[in-house]
Structure 1
Amino acid sequence: MIRPMVRLALWGVASRKNELVRTLHEMEVFHLVASPRMTSLPDGDLHKTRVVGATLLGMLEVLSWDEWNTLDDVQLERARAGLDQLTPDLANEVERSIESFRTRLADLLQEKEALEESHRALRKSHQITSHFSGFLKEERASGNEVSLWWIVPSLQGSLLGRIRKVLKKHTSVKERVSLRYHSVRVEKDVLLAVSVPPSALEEVETLFRENGAAAWRAPHVFEKETPYASFSAVEEGLQWLPARLDEIERELLKTRKEWGPKLAALFIALDEQAEVVEVERGLTEKGELFFVEGWVPGDALSSIVSCLRERFDRDVLLSWRYPSDDEWHKVPTALSNPGPFAPFELFLKLLSPPKYSGLDPTVLIGIFFPFFSGCMVGDIGYGFFIALFGFLARRFGKSVLISHVGSILYFIAGWSIAWGIAYGELFGDMGHRLLHMRPLWVERSEAVMPVLVFTVVLGLAHVCLGHLLGLIEGIRHRHKHLWMEKLGNLVILSGLVLGIVIFKGWLPDKLFSVSLSAVIVGTVVLLMGGGLGGVIEYLGTIGNVLSYVRIGAIGLSSAILAMVASSFVDVLGISILGIMMALAMHLLNFVLALAGSGLHAARLHYVEFLGKFYVGGGIAYRPFGKRRSPSWKKP
């Protein structure tokens, strides 16, 4: 139901402006007509508040903290109370503390980023050096020096030959020239390690440089004087770097858990305070008076007036009126539905709010959505587990969203159990096997056609209800084309239904002329209302009705899968394997049944039902008041 709204105007004494704005903020019911008129960037304290708030938000983003729904009222009230007690000196001290904390956090994150980069470089380097570690150790023990160079593969043979010639100069005639080397192909290049006597090292390195080779180097911090020392530094780095990264990550996690909620609560409190100040500065002033107006729910008007008169007496003058027809498009839409149906307002969150003059379909969604979903699940055992998930969501959910999902699951569970009794299903045919259950209506795995026909009739009723609501909306708002189009669809559908009933022999054949007349009259009315487009929509309506067959089809597949799950025990016997296979199949079927029933029931509402009458484009009711999340997430 859309709550009636009242336009409330207030004139007050300028000396009490701040107090009145804060009172409206505490009431959390006043929807400002317009945002504050801030023509330029605010100066002074307000600008500083915004800067500090942006800093806090940046710190939360750096900490990867986004658990706004976990904030409790105690944390928020503590932050608000702390801001109320701030003196200028204390505010500057808080700002310096935040800046100091931000600097330490930035240093920690910078160190983490540098270490991660070094770790990646070390791992890449180690993948190469691991091929040479044994070679280096052997040659170092023999007293030779090892030199590593990146070369082009085509030069390897000629370079090794020239190095042998160099070694002859540094080897006695009696000794045999021995060149020890090791090479690894890395993509398009070759990393070549040669072992030479210390006396030949400089000449060999000059030879490499003259042929365009590049000396291998360890990552900058781990580069040492010799390749062996660099290899050792790489090995040591791979040991202490991960440990330091783990230590930083633990420190960040601890900081995130400890300071995330505190910084978030402080940000919200600052954001609220800045909004209050902006509203104060944006009010219209005339001499010693100021003026503010907005929308409030009609059912809250008396309490608002009583509170303001008690607190401000004659310092505030109140005036209110209900909206006129020509300003309905400016009125914010506030929904108010009975307790059991309130969670189903969640479905409208995916759409733009209904217009103030429109219809709120929440109650209808609350009736049909769980009915359709339960019809698709149709199993007592599955319904019990859906109820269990609903209980867990309501009991342990940390947000209103999860709590509402839990409430919706309760409804689905109730209808799943009811339809399970109608179909005689308890984990498929297990109820029949163990408890000799019998269906109260039909066994859907066998009586396929009755179930499908029932779902088509159900779809016809649901679609006709949508057209009927569209007809009412068209008449209310004097949209001739709309109500004529909806009326034409209803008359044609009535004529077709009557024709089918006559064809089945349930009514005399003499009434066929009535059926045909209804189709003709409905077509004429449809053409007058919507023209050719109306005819196309009518064909779409037929498709909409047939689309409800999915209720029976999905339910039938779920029932068959449940029976297949039980059959594993027949095939494999009452064994661990048989029971585990049956449980796995039931688990898979349960997930598919719950997800599929919810998805397709929602589709039937969004596509086949709401499109017949729902008009979005309304203005969301956003009362000026406290919040639990950043302004762009304010509910």
Structure 2
Amino acid sequence: MITKMKKIILFMSNSAVEVDAELTLLGQLGVMHVAPFQPAKDESIERVDARIKQLEKAISILNRYDIEPFPGPFETTDFSTIERGEIELMEKVLYTENNRIQLEDKKEQENLDLEWYRKWGNISAEDITDLDKNGVFIKLYLLNNRELKSIQGHENIQFIGKLDNLTQVVLISEDVNNKIDFQEVRVPPMQLDELELSLTKTIEEHINIIKDLQQLHAQKSVLQDALDERIRRLDVRNIQYGGMTIDNQVRYWKGFIPDDAVHKFEKAAKKYSWGYIIDDPAPEEIDDVPTLIRTSRWAERIRPVLNFMGLVPGYKELDVSKVFMIFFTFFTGILVGDAGYGFVFLLITFLIHYKQKFVMKIEFKLMYTLSVSIIFWGVLTGTYFGAESIAEIPFLSNLRIRELSSFGGDSIFIQKFMFLIGAIHLSIGHLQIAWRYINSVKAIAQLGWVAIIWGLYLIVNQMVLGISAPEFMIWLFIGGTLLITLFSNPGTNFIKGVILSIANLPLSIINGFSDVISYIRLYAVGLSTVLMAASFNKMAIGDGISTIASGFGAVIILILGHSLNMILAAMAVLVHGVRLNMLEYAGHAAVEFSGNEYTPFKLKNNKKFKI
């Protein structure tokens, strides 16, 4: 159900120190959803945000050095014992990491230069400069065969060797401007002996830098505490500057709290001398009221799907989580519809759950439920990896329902069953609205819509499946139309309400017809999954396997084919399973998912502040 909310106006002193402390206490209380009057803007917010980014970067650096440090004594400062030690530690980590990157770049370049000497010999930039002073100019090139042909006959060219399918070429000339039109090879700036000494020193410095970072990792908690405190400050500042002030003496905020949390809030407000006004939200404020859904534990499993799709019912809309969970589970079973695939999904879920040490996550509960639903429908239809031979095993054959069978079943019966599911699904939406208006004549209008839905169901059966509609079908439309016309818009002007209802009715009935027929997608997509599985089986096995090579190829085809089919089936669940709930059903339940989620201002408990 959607929890009833109370609007609250909260007053506090505008003293910077007091506001920080009082808002921290409010955040630790964690019940007030704050609706800011204005975007929070202040220089302090920008400074804290910048500091958070620096601390996060420093922590991410230290996380890479969570290994056993090099042996040996090291002198390190205990940054937790000095004033602003967390800032010094952060700056040291960032500075040290910057040095490490520079040393790695230097080491990489020096290794490349050392490799150059191994390939070109012991000739240095200094040697080339000495020759230049004496009027002899040397240029080095690496050319491929096509480039070599273009310099045939060029004077002063010497070929000195091969290097990775390229030719090492030296141009020796007494003219400084004499060159060939190709990229000249860079000569290392240091001589070989200098380079070897420099590389040794660079490696030693790099090792010491790593040691420093490993030692600093032991004090990561100092940075983490500092980060937690800055995040608290940022959260508090965003709330603080989203409020308004009165004569720069009092600051106030508007927000919402659950009705059952009012006593808890009032107790804290009395203890800390907060001023407040609590009232029911005004009609014009309904769009601003956040939605807090509290539902059954089994229905809570649909939460990951709703969060993924960003679906939040409005405060005055219906809680659709239970219906969504039931039918989404059912639709998933039909759309995938293969017990073999269900076992694979179940096994994958179990292995991931096992790897995460069976942590209690709602996502795993959802996946277990959906996997069982797929297995259940697959057993009823006799579908196991799209193989009819498996379905004919006596034990499994006895478990299936012949009319629903994927192989030799009654397609008319299956399609009729899908339309029946649609009629039930849409009817539930109208019955939920009727229950909501149980004390109003509007509830009678919703019963009229239920009659229309079942009339449309009979028409769809007749038009699509050729099943003759019973004679009472016309009375469903007549009775439903009368109830809708008379009771949809009750008010002071009865005639105006009737005219308005009549004007909207034709288009609404047409939409209802398309909604009922839309459930044929369950049959079509489920059938396509079975046909694709059967096609991959035939492609892989065909008339049999006669050689080892054909057997190996069959295994590859089966693995890749069924994997692709399972991926497509999972996509179909996201597209069609969600759509039938989010559009068809939600449309008939008058749910537009126009709400904003209840997100109370909540902080971790802090040693300095106690509730």
Using structure 1 for the length normalisation, give the TM-score.
0.65
Contact 1:146–1:193 at 8 Å: present in 2 too? Answer: no
1:272 paired with 2:249, answer no
Match among 620, 623, 627 for residue 597 of structure 2: 620
- For residue 470 of structure 1, report the CA deviation from its aligned partner: 10
* Aligned residue in 2 for 1:28: 30
1:528 paired with 2:503, answer yes
Match among 406, 409, 417 for residue 447 of structure 1: 409
Distance of 1:398 and 1:355 partners within structure 2: 37
* Aligned residue in 2 for 1:79: none
Contact 2:33–2:257 at 8 Å: present in 1 too? Answer: yes
Q: Residues 215 and 557 from structure 1, CA distance in 2 versus in 1: closer, same or farther, beyond 3 angstroms?
A: closer
Q: Figure out how many residues of one structure are paired with residues of the other and give that number.
A: 544
Residues 307-354 of structure 1 deviation map (CA, whole Å, 9 limit, x = unaligned): 554x44xx3455422223221011112222221222312222222533
Matched letter for residue 99 of structure 2: D
Distance of 1:432 and 1:252 partners within structure 2: 69
Contact 1:343–1:404 at 8 Å: present in 2 too? Answer: yes
Distance of 1:25 and 1:47 partners within structure 2: 21
Match among 194, 198, 205 for residue 173 of structure 2: 205
Stretches of structure 2 that go unaligned for 5 or more consecutive residues are 65-78, 123-135, 486-498, 606-611
- For residue 106 of structure 1, report the CA deviation from its aligned partner: 1.8
Distance of 1:183 and 1:333 partners within structure 2: 77
Distance of 1:552 and 1:393 partners within structure 2: 27
Distance of 1:343 and 1:357 partners within structure 2: 23
1:181 paired with 2:159, answer yes
* Aligned residue in 2 for 1:326: 284
Matched letter for residue 571 of structure 2: L
Matched letter for residue 598 of structure 2: Y
Stretches of structure 1 that go unaligned for 5 or more consecutive residues are 66-85, 135-144, 164-178, 195-203, 629-635
Distance of 1:40 and 1:213 partners within structure 2: 62
1:547 paired with 2:521, answer yes
Match among 48, 70, 90 for residue 98 of structure 1: 90
1:348 paired with 2:306, answer yes
Distance of 2:178 and 2:14 partners within structure 1: 87
Residues 208-247 of structure 1 deviation map (CA, whole Å, 9 limit, x = unaligned): x343448986546x3467xxx69x98xx89x999999998
Contact 2:90–2:223 at 8 Å: present in 1 too? Answer: no
Contact 1:483–1:529 at 8 Å: present in 2 too? Answer: no
Matched letter for residue 503 of structure 2: M
Task: State the SS of the aligned residue for 1:32.
Answer: strand
Higher fraction of helix:
1
Contact 1:374–1:417 at 8 Å: present in 2 too? Answer: yes
Contact 1:217–1:223 at 8 Å: present in 2 too? Answer: no
Distance of 1:409 and 1:274 partners within structure 2: 37
Contact 1:369–1:605 at 8 Å: present in 2 too? Answer: yes
Match among 419, 426, 439 for residue 457 of structure 1: 419
Distance of 1:406 and 1:28 partners within structure 2: 28
Contact 2:103–2:202 at 8 Å: present in 1 too? Answer: no
Residues 503-547 of structure 1 deviation map (CA, whole Å, 9 limit, x = unaligned): 53574xx55765897999999999822887x68856754663332
Distance of 1:112 and 1:101 partners within structure 2: 16
Task: State the SS of the aligned residue for 2:602.
Answer: coil
Contact 1:14–1:290 at 8 Å: present in 2 too? Answer: yes
Distance of 1:246 and 1:182 partners within structure 2: 37
Task: State the SS of the aligned residue for 1:276.
Answer: helix
Distance of 2:160 and 2:336 partners within structure 1: 68
Residues 61-93 of structure 1 deviation map (CA, whole Å, 9 limit, x = unaligned): 77899xxxxxxxxxxxxxxxxxxxx99x94522
CA RMSD after TM alignment: 5.8
Match among 590, 593, 596 for residue 568 of structure 2: 596
Match among 494, 497, 504 for residue 467 of structure 2: 504
Matched letter for residue 205 of structure 1: S
Distance of 1:579 and 1:303 partners within structure 2: 69
Match among 280, 290, 299 for residue 260 of structure 2: 299
Alignment of structure 1 residues 101-250 onto 2, 5 Å: 101-113=93-105, 148-150=139-141, 156-160=151-155, 163=156, 181=159, 192-193=169-170, 204-207=172-175, 209-213=176-180, 218-219=185-186, 222-223=188-189
Q: Residues 588 and 498 from structure 1, CA distance in 2 versus in 1: closer, same or farther, beyond 3 angstroms?
A: closer
Q: Residues 263 and 288 from structure 1, CA distance in 2 versus in 1: closer, same or farther, beyond 3 angstroms?
A: closer
Residues 388-445 of structure 1 deviation map (CA, whole Å, 9 limit, x = unaligned): 3334444544999x93321111111221232233134555444644856423303312
Task: State the SS of the aligned residue for 2:316.
Answer: coil
Matched letter for residue 303 of structure 1: K
* Aligned residue in 1 for 2:369: 411
Distance of 1:530 and 1:119 partners within structure 2: 81
Q: Residues 155 and 545 from structure 1, CA distance in 2 versus in 1: closer, same or farther, beyond 3 angstroms?
A: closer
Contact 1:371–1:415 at 8 Å: present in 2 too? Answer: yes
Matched letter for residue 211 of structure 1: N
Distance of 1:215 and 1:241 partners within structure 2: 35
Q: Residues 181 and 621 from structure 1, CA distance in 2 versus in 1: closer, same or farther, beyond 3 angstroms?
A: same
- For residue 274 of structure 1, report the CA deviation from its aligned partner: 3.2
1:365 paired with 2:367, answer no
Using structure 2 for the length normalisation, give the TM-score.
0.67
Task: State the SS of the aligned residue for 1:358.
Answer: coil
Residues 363-400 of structure 1 deviation map (CA, whole Å, 9 limit, x = unaligned): 22211122122234444454344333334444544999
- For residue 617 of structure 1, report the CA deviation from its aligned partner: 3.5
Task: State the SS of the aligned residue for 2:367.
Answer: helix
* Aligned residue in 2 for 1:75: none
Task: State the SS of the aligned residue for 2:398.
Answer: coil
Contact 1:475–1:483 at 8 Å: present in 2 too? Answer: no
Distance of 2:304 and 2:285 partners within structure 1: 27
Fraction of identical pairs, as percent: 15
Task: State the SS of the aligned residue for 1:159.
Answer: coil
* Aligned residue in 2 for 1:571: 544
- For residue 491 of structure 1, report the CA deviation from its aligned partner: 7.4
Residues 154-210 of structure 1 deviation map (CA, whole Å, 9 limit, x = unaligned): 8734433xx4xxxxxxxxxxxxxxx963588999x996336xxxxxxxxx4215x34
Distance of 1:283 and 1:535 partners within structure 2: 50
Task: State the SS of the aligned residue for 2:173.
Answer: helix
